[in-house]
Structure 1
Amino acid sequence: MKKLKIILAFSLIMVQIGQSQDLPSLGITARYDSTQNIMMLRWAPESAKLWFAANKYGYSVVKYYYQKDGELLTPPLKKEILANKVRPKPLDEWEELVNRSDYAAIAAQSVYGESIGVTNAQEDIFSIVNKSKEDQSRFSFSLFAADQSLEVADFLGLYVEDHKVSKNERYLYRIYVNVPDSIMQADTAAIYYGPEDYSSLPAPKVESVVQKDDFVVLKWLNGPYLNIFSSYSIQRSFTGKDFDNINSLPTINFESGPTKSNLFNSFIDTTRYEGKAFYRILGKNVFGQLSIPSDTFSIVKMKSYEVPIPKIDSVEFNENNSNAIYWSANGASEFIDKAFLEKSYKSEGRYELVELDSLFKNSYLSDTSPNEINYYRVGITAGENVKYSMPFLFQNIDSIPPAIPAFFNYEVEDSVVKLSWYANTDEDIAGYRIYKSIKRNAEPSLIYSEQSLDTTVILKENLSFINNERYYYLVAFDKNGNASALSKRFKVKLPDIVPPTPPQIRNVTQQGDTLTIDFVKSSSSDIESYLLYRKLEDDLYKLVKQINPSQNQLTDIVEKGGKNFYRLVAIDSSGNEGVSKPYSFYVKIKSEEEFKYEIFEGEDYVSVLWEKNSNYEAQKVKVYYKINDTYNLIKEASIREGELLIERKNIKKEQLKIICI
């Protein structure tokens, strides 16, 4: 018996009415035979468990008269029992069929062959699994055999003929499994069919017939016929008339549903011959009926030959900026149709066509637009055969630097700086370098160099410098070491935590009631203002004035005689403070015995009257008004006048201060 490698592909059309997906079910198909005027019915269970039960209890086939002359018949429909308790024939009836059919031997072994068997002592998990696999194999092989032979399907109890058929009628056939509900519940299968539903089997569609080495490969469309044909017959003729089957075993459908992998089927004819041959394909359904032949394809089979493998001998760089690739092939070259050149950036990468020599007239090929790094391979074709050389690496000399890169953003958190830049678009870019300077026009130093295509970097900066600005420059370099020029200067402002250098009070002079304070400015470059604080003895420091950083002198008005203390504070752009050391100064006030005054509040004016000792040398009297703890000069007069009037407005007597100088 021939050995068969089988994967089940049961090709019945399954029509199920009112079935539950939870119950075992059947598949059914029908076909009308006009030569005998009979209806042929084929079915199959969809699980091994149901198959075993049906083999024991059998199937029942019921026929209902459903339609006549195109009109639906009125219920109740006429009913006939076509078959009852249809099941596999007894073993002793199989001998004659087994002796002439391999498929019958497969089916008989599946139904009646010895079983593994599981005893109580062997009920371990492995024995149970093996028994389950055996049951599934028996089920699959039996259905396969039934698909390939209608006679075997009849012996397996999976086929019935209806000889009482009228061409103007249509019938409803229902198949039942006679297993009791107490043992297993199973759905029925049904199909509507009549002689008018008959259609001839389509011809298979051949895709190609080509020679591969010393063989002929046939390829035909398979997907659309999965539910039509269970196998195919391949036929060949050397005259174009008398065709013979060349596949001793049927070419079958291996899968049950349309997928990308079974869209086409193929067959390899390994017969050794030379010259012209004709091929065609016929489909066969589960009822053993053959389709009309496919279109006939012819092929002239050439004597087999070994296609030589090419190899690249050398590559040369020409003055016109092109590469010449010299190659050769050992062996017979008379069958070579054409040669072509491909290249890639990697030896195992995706290769692209560079040049095609369709006449095979030269032993070299050219690349007029070489890259810096080139992996070349030469391919040659002979018929349907293609052979490639091993990849050949050739690097062109590159002295062109990459384009100048540019920063576009930075982020600062405490002392951590994240720099970001635009990716360089050069194809051979290898990495980036970063240079830094602390001062704007200082020479930058290299702080980062990596062979990486990352476009961000994180750096840690020292914040203890007085200057909180950093200047970064970016450089791109390629795989040959060529480096771009420095990018434009990129300024980064760091958090300013260093206080400015404190100013220094150099001198305080008094002229009358005015004190002039001279000081040395802070050396820090980002000073925004100076604050002057004054403290009298046994008192707290009080802000008396704020000036901009362009001034280096300020004044204060005497409030009280005695020892005064001054401190000057420098404020930078980040709000940090640099505080000077205290500076003490003794303030002199003229004796009240030498100068006396009184203030009178009238309705519209405030009147200031005074008198002085004849030896008093003062020249003027100045009137100050206190606003927000600061005295501001509002009026002055010659000391000889003895009186001064001030518009009342909102002036209060308590806020006035009179000083003579």
Structure 2
Amino acid sequence: MKKALFLICFWVVNWSFAQLSDTTPSVMLKSYVQKDRILLRWAVNTPIEWQKANQKGFILHKILIKKDGNFLENPEKQTIATLKPDKQEDWIDFIQKDNYGAIIAQALYGESFSVEQDSKNGISKIVNIAEELNQRHTFALFAADMSFVAAQKAGWGFIDTDVKAGETYIYQVEVLGMPEIESSAVMVGLSDVETLPKIHDFTAIPDDKKVLFSWGITYLKDIYTSYIIERSENGTDFQSISSTPIVDMNGTSKKQMFYATTLETNDTPYFFRIYGINAFGEKGIPSAPIKVQGVSATTAVPRIADYNFINDGVELIWEYPKEAEKATEKFELWHNTKEDANYQKVVDNIKKEDRKLIYRKLSASNYFKIASVDKQQKRHFSHSTLVQPSDSIPPARPIGLQGKIDSLGVVTLSWKANTEADLAGYRVLRANTDKEEFVDIFNHIITENTARDTVSFSLSNKKVFYKILAEDLRYNRSPFSEVIVVEKPDKNPPTAPIFNNFTTENGKITLYWINSSSDDVESYTLSRREKGTEKWQPLQVFHKETNTFIDENTEGGKMYEYLIQAKDKAGLWSSADNATIIIKAPIRADKVIKSVDFVADRNARSISLFWKYQKNAKVTEIQIYKNVKGTSPSLWKVLTPKQQHITDKEIHINTIYEYYFLPSLANGKPVEGEKVEVNY
């Protein structure tokens, strides 16, 4: 293959595999689930071992570990592929239509590999690699991130179509004949499919016949490898503004990405939108279009360049031309909790020489603008910047859920609207019995605090159960609301039941009561509300013989008022007077770990441990303790939250080992640990 010279011009974003920094030689493995297949990508993290691995090849193993929710007792390990890069001559036609394939082919087979230095496009900021092997490794992995087809051709990707719903698999990749390179594994099934997120904070700062775009990447680094910005003149027909995707070479040090482009004129308004592309070539949902129009170069406009969280506030940093200070009177800070026109001035008379300010009265979502005020008292506003402190906090639990059913089976639900500024909407769940699993009846969020559902009267159940949750723009989900029971409408009311005792233990409230003395009681309803609120939320409907209830769905430290009422066969309710009790809920630890699994491989003399976290859990680290059963545990490993698999080879046959998993949260809240016992 002839020597090739690649001139690569990119702007900003994260490389998923191209920025591997671990020093221990290992294979890094990622997965992505589509409708009926599982896509796999892997990469060796060090240049020398990467080069050797390409010569040796990769072995891909597969284990069916779980079926219909149950773990298999003796899962079999099968080899589903042995992969190496295609031969040099097989790349000739492919590289004519895939530029990224050309980069990979040159990295694999080229006599030399060089990157042209061009200060005009900032290439010196993108890569500063002296050794040619490092260049081959870095750019090959980058190109594989940009073209999954090319990654497959290089032996670094695989599509498994032999998959079924209800099954969970463990995939393991290892380098053939090179045990010194650590293998990697991932556990995944078709149920792990996730929707790629929309970018919500895409903003633009117009200038004279040009515009600078920015968007936050803190929560997108592990999802997208590149981005596409599109432009439209009518807001409907969009086309990409660049011939190649926009890529970040700055690693994990930046909170935002920036990209600049030119405008033909300042007189025409344009619409721009953005979407991300992951390492498997999947495109995310385009953002909402933003309207941009160029501004005259004679008008100086401040630009918020960065921000840093400081204690209980935020330090805002902005840019403004020094030469424009002569015509400037002062700066002002404007604030809003939503991206609309109702901004409020929160700080006045900021010196025109200043370029930073600390603001402490933060909300969950904060939109800031800096205004420069000229000598004629005309304001020139910067574009808004969104600041969200520690957005791992979910919305509040929805309250006031009510429901009624008409003669046609139409159920009307309503509840008190949440007030969070970053609220995306609600999800409504239903069950036909109190034993049935709740299901999302719409399979998407609804933005109003009302909903309609239709139920069939032909079914044997007389009641329908509903609960809701709130979800914000970062996909954080609130606890479920209290469950309500909707039933058909059914004149001496029964005597009232009364509470006679209660206990609080292990984050639960156990209630005891004396049932009604009336002999026509059909059921009892236990309701709950937070102290100081008006609306009761039904917790559970009981049969006559039941006189106790354990409430596990509480928030620690809150005061709850419980009400027990009897209903007779005519549908009349007992009096609520003297039928209430007020209890303070105990504090419980959060359950962060979703599951812990293991595979004991006697042939390999190893125990592989796998675990998953609850969605949206903000874990900072996890400590793993280990001991032989009957002895005291000791700290074995401390891992980062991205590491969810580890292999233990320091083991002896016919020994029972116990592993304890204890994660730590960013907010410092207590969590429940998990234990697994392995009989090796």
Bigger relative CO (Cα 8 Å, ≥ 6 apart)? 2
TM-score band, normalised by shorter chain:
0.3 to 0.5
Larger radius of gyration: 1
TM-score (norm 1): 0.43
TM-score of the two chains, using structure 2 as the length reference: 0.41
